[in-house]
Structure 1
């Protein structure tokens, strides 16, 4: 079952997907025009989810936020409840002060698997039931009601994610905001800007300050975050498109194809051509 509410004036879409046999996204082909953020909830037994060619374990009663530019499919889609929305329906960037999820829940560069305890399952089930009720009540305030519910859903999941990934409440302050803004800036500029200094200047911080801050939240350094995002995009372009290595080189802000090939091989142990020809699916345990 797929329920869709659209705003013809803004182009905003909100979808609720439940017990769909075939639920997936292929961003670099058929789904590129529909830039939907996804919040997926596995209500069944343990299964796998394949994200950009990498297989992850998707445990029972776990939430998985996914960016609009990720391609994915589920082993058992019928066990998954998912909310999808585009920026036209609710722009999480413009309304970051409301939900504080940008650069953390969405756009951190790594998948977040957020487990639900029994109280959280109960609350999410109630929220799901209200979504169903509002989707089945078409009136002149339906979109407003659904927007409020979506905000509540995002805030609820962001709180759960913080308690798991940032358990120390002392770190829930402006330092987290800098961390989130860095991730957001990398997402916006990684194709043209590859140096930590560039992002540090935008944030009015020194590169050393950023490195110290990342040590609190992430095992990666700032430069590793930038390079990891470039590699993710390179793999997507090699995996899902027919663009040449030279085209990908320039698209990702490199001036020399040989340098890009060396960069890619240093981080993946494969040349771009070897990766494309192999297209090996990698399993990641969670």
Structure 2
């Protein structure tokens, strides 16, 4: 089921199973999506990493993720383009920038409990009903429902992954750091570079991340670089030296050393799949 507006803005809602799982691969420029798994043992490869998602797991993906559904049982798939709703331009409304989108160095995963399932089931029913409406308020209603969905998912993700006693201002600083890394990870490899952009000290950022979880600000940069390196090694035929250069490394040796330290083997071995990636 798909809504297309007068200016080519669109939102699409699809029930996915084994017969149409290939729809997950059809990602277009400027698209964002959510996938709500409705059964156990969904085997999916995302950016060369194998995952198994079970009932009531939700993941959020951008146009930059490459997904291959190896064995998908059942899921609800919703996607939209930037013209329909831009989470960056409207971050003050939904607060998911740097959390669900444009900032996670791994795939953000939400696990729903019974209460969350009831709420989201109702919301998706309303979305389906509104998809069939045909009046001049349809676009605004669909945008409002999408905003509600993003707000709910962001809240759940925060509750499950962020330390509850962090102040909103601290969480916003972490979100902005994550987003800045997404924008500049190919050219800025140090915490100080991002601290300067945020008008914070590297020590302040380190202390914030220590309260937030186990990942340091430097590790976050390294994780984002590794994610992109794996993508390029898997899905392009670019020479390894060119990949390293695009990621901001001065020469092949420094890139290979970085990759081997993080991954445990060389970029060439990863590309040849002598060592298979795992979740």
TM superposition score normalised by structure 2? 0.93
Q: Which runs of 5+ in 1 are unaligned?
A: none
Tell me the number of residue pairs that the alignment of Structure 1 and Structure 2 aligns. 276
Matching of residue 148 in structure 1 with residue 144 in structure 2: yes
Q: Which runs of 5+ in 2 are unaligned?
A: none
User: C-alpha separation between the residues in 1 aligned to 2:242 and 2:24?
Assistant: 24
Matching of residue 22 in structure 1 with residue 21 in structure 2: yes
> Residues 69, 78 of structure 1: CA spacing in aligned structure 2 closer, same or farther, 3 A cutoff?
same
Q: Encode CA deviations 1:14-46: one digit per residue, 9 max, x unaligned.
A: 1111135224545xxx74x43321111111123
In structure 2, the residue matched to 1:267 is: 262
Stretch deviating more after TM superposition (16-25 or 152-161): 16-25
How far 1:281 moved relative to its partner? 4.2
Q: Say which SS state the counterpart of residue 203 (structure 2) adopts.
A: helix
In structure 2, the residue matched to 1:79 is: 74
Matching of residue 202 in structure 1 with residue 197 in structure 2: yes
Which of 106, 126, 129 is the equivalent residue of 1:133? 129
Contact 2:35–2:77 at 8 Å: present in 1 too? yes
In structure 2, the residue matched to 1:66 is: 61
Q: Say which SS state the counterpart of residue 257 (structure 2) adopts.
A: helix
Q: Encode CA deviations 1:101-128: one digit per residue, 9 max, x unaligned.
A: 1111222212232111112111111111
In structure 1, the residue matched to 2:224 is: 229
In structure 2, the residue matched to 1:180 is: 175
In structure 1, the residue matched to 2:93 is: 98
Contact 1:24–1:73 at 8 Å: present in 2 too? no
How far 1:67 moved relative to its partner? 2.5
User: C-alpha separation between the residues in 2 aligned to 1:69 and 1:218?
Assistant: 25
Matching of residue 55 in structure 1 with residue 50 in structure 2: yes
How far 1:6 moved relative to its partner? 2.3
Contact 2:41–2:73 at 8 Å: present in 1 too? no
> Residues 75, 273 of structure 1: CA spacing in aligned structure 2 closer, same or farther, 3 A cutoff?
closer
User: C-alpha separation between the residues in 2 aligned to 1:269 and 1:72?
Assistant: 24
> Residues 283, 272 of structure 1: CA spacing in aligned structure 2 closer, same or farther, 3 A cutoff?
closer
User: C-alpha separation between the residues in 2 aligned to 1:52 and 1:73?
Assistant: 9
User: C-alpha separation between the residues in 1 aligned to 2:272 and 2:154?
Assistant: 38
How far 1:237 moved relative to its partner? 0.4
Stretch deviating more after TM superposition (65-74 or 118-127): 65-74
Contact 1:24–1:72 at 8 Å: present in 2 too? no
User: C-alpha separation between the residues in 2 aligned to 1:264 and 1:125?
Assistant: 42
Contact 2:163–2:211 at 8 Å: present in 1 too? no
TM superposition score normalised by structure 1? 0.90
How far 1:270 moved relative to its partner? 1.9
How far 1:273 moved relative to its partner? 1.4
> Residues 203, 114 of structure 1: CA spacing in aligned structure 2 closer, same or farther, 3 A cutoff?
same
User: C-alpha separation between the residues in 2 aligned to 1:148 and 1:279?
Assistant: 48
> Residues 238, 24 of structure 1: CA spacing in aligned structure 2 closer, same or farther, 3 A cutoff?
farther
Matching of residue 216 in structure 1 with residue 178 in structure 2: no
In structure 2, the residue matched to 1:4 is: 2
Matching of residue 113 in structure 1 with residue 109 in structure 2: yes
